[in-house]
Amino acid sequence: MLIKVNGFKTKIGSVLNNKDGKVLISNFIYLSLLQVAGYIFPLITFPYLAKTIGVEKFGEIAFALAMLSYFQTIVDYGFNFTATRDIAQNRNNIMVVSQIFSNVLWARCFLLLIMLLPFVIIVFSIEKLFLMRKLLFATFLLLPGHILFPQWLFQGLEKMKYITILNVISKLIFTIAVFLVIREESDYMYQPILTSLGFIVSGVISFYIIVVRWGVKILSPNYKQIRDTIKKSTDVFINQLFPNLYNSFSVLLLGIWGGQYANGIFDAGSKLANVVIQFFNVISRVFFPFFSRDRGQHKIYAKYCMLLAGVVSLVLFIIAPWLIRIFFTEEFISSVPVLRIVVFSMFFLVMSDVFGTNYLIVSGHDKIIRNITIGVSLIGFIIAVPLVYFYSYIGAAMTVTIVRFLLGVFSYIYSLKVR
């Protein structure tokens, strides 16, 4: 036992004393601060919004975001992983970084323009969506704000403090604006507009840092390079798109069959779980560029990350009723079983990040992840219909959990085969 403990201390010491270890620790500290901000700001606005706009308007916003998620996934096109990986591998070559940055920027702008027309056609062709058109177009503004903030570049360069500072600015602007602008139920559609405003301000600041201070150039668009950039990310894009078949699709089905009340209940339970999931996303984002260069310490990372996920999931499952009562009104009490089911799925979502994103993708096995995601997402798409129809928001939570279980288990199995 003493030999194992001393060996572990030696490994930790070697990590702390080398350059990569110091970068990892610095990035973890900054992203942990970001996570703290990510906890604080939503926890400030959740009770206020729940009281001011009510459960049904909560549900309408969730419905609009679920619809937008398809378009956002297309605009992102997997660049958050492939571009991050490419930047991490070439971060000391400013010309290559400029080329990657420019190609991804123009590719995302190109995809946004392509997506605008089908979005307008869908909204004006379906009566239910037409009645929600103001909220839907307000929500669509999230996409240009999202493009303006190149989080993937900061992550690839392992400059996490900039992600932290700029995200805090974005969240602060949104939080203050919520209390100033949203005063009654009819103001609910300003919520996505205020979120977009925060992203746009952060995006403008980030461009100043990237272009003026760091000297990264925005090169003229080159059609062939843009096409190749899009083509290169296709496998990861499919991996990001297909989860919408069960996740966002469940929310859309809830809006159709259960009404916006059911969406509001499901969204409330999911939101609290997602706040905690973001903490594990921080850990994943810290290690992703590191493992893109060196996968030698992945086993240690996997062991402790999964242990932490298990403990956190258990604690949240136990205190779920208390959390709902603290952060929402009594009309949201039905969200307790939703929170408990989604919290159970969190463990397997972390598993898919640990062994899928941070092992298979960084190892260049994008196609394996693509095939796993397609398979389990199709299963989710099929089971979502009966589960949501018969069990409403509970069925939606069950769908998410079943698919995340399959995604995590298969990612683990195939990571062992690759090793």
- Which is nearest to 214 in space by CA: 299, 157, 140? 157
> Tens digits of per-residue pLDDT, 283-311?
777 777 777 666 777 888 888 889 999 99
Per-residue pLDDT band at 238 (split at 50, 70, 90): confident
- The set of residues, in sequence order, having a beta carbon less than 8 Å from that of 194 and lying 6+ positions away, is 173, 174, 177, 178, 181, 182
Q: What is the pLDDT of residue 109?
A: 93
Per-residue pLDDT band at 113 (split at 50, 70, 90): very high
* Lowest pLDDT segment from 72-86, 145-159, 330-344, 389-403: 145-159
- E-state strands within 140-236: none
Greatest mean pLDDT among 47-56, 325-334, 335-344: 335-344
Q: What is the pLDDT of residue 318?
A: 93
Q: What is the pLDDT of residue 292?
A: 67
Q: What is the pLDDT of residue 38?
A: 61
Q: What is the pLDDT of residue 12?
A: 47
User: Residue length, the chain?
Assistant: 419
Q: What is the pLDDT of residue 124?
A: 93
What angle do helix axes 133-140 and 19-76 make, rounded to 10 degrees? 140
Per-residue pLDDT band at 360 (split at 50, 70, 90): confident
Query: Which tops the pLDDT comparison, 361 or 335?
Result: 335
Q: What is the pLDDT of residue 4?
A: 45
Q: What is the pLDDT of residue 142?
A: 85
Query: Which tops the pLDDT comparison, 184 or 275?
Result: 184
Per-residue pLDDT band at 8 (split at 50, 70, 90): very low
| pLDDT surpassing 50 at residue 5 | no
- The set of residues, in sequence order, having a beta carbon less than 8 Å from that of 321 and lying 6+ positions away, is 333, 336
- The set of residues, in sequence order, having a beta carbon less than 8 Å from that of 315 and lying 6+ positions away, is none
Per-residue pLDDT band at 417 (split at 50, 70, 90): confident
Residues 147, 109: contact at Cβ < 8 Å? yes
Q: Residue type for 366, please?
A: D
If 0-12 CB within 10 Å is exposed, 13-18 middle and 19+ buried, where does residue 294 land?
exposed
- Which is nearest to 232 in space by CA: 353, 100, 354? 100
- Sign of the CA dihedral running 70, 76, 80, 82: positive
Q: What is the pLDDT of residue 19?
A: 59
* Averaged pLDDT score across all residues of the chain: 83
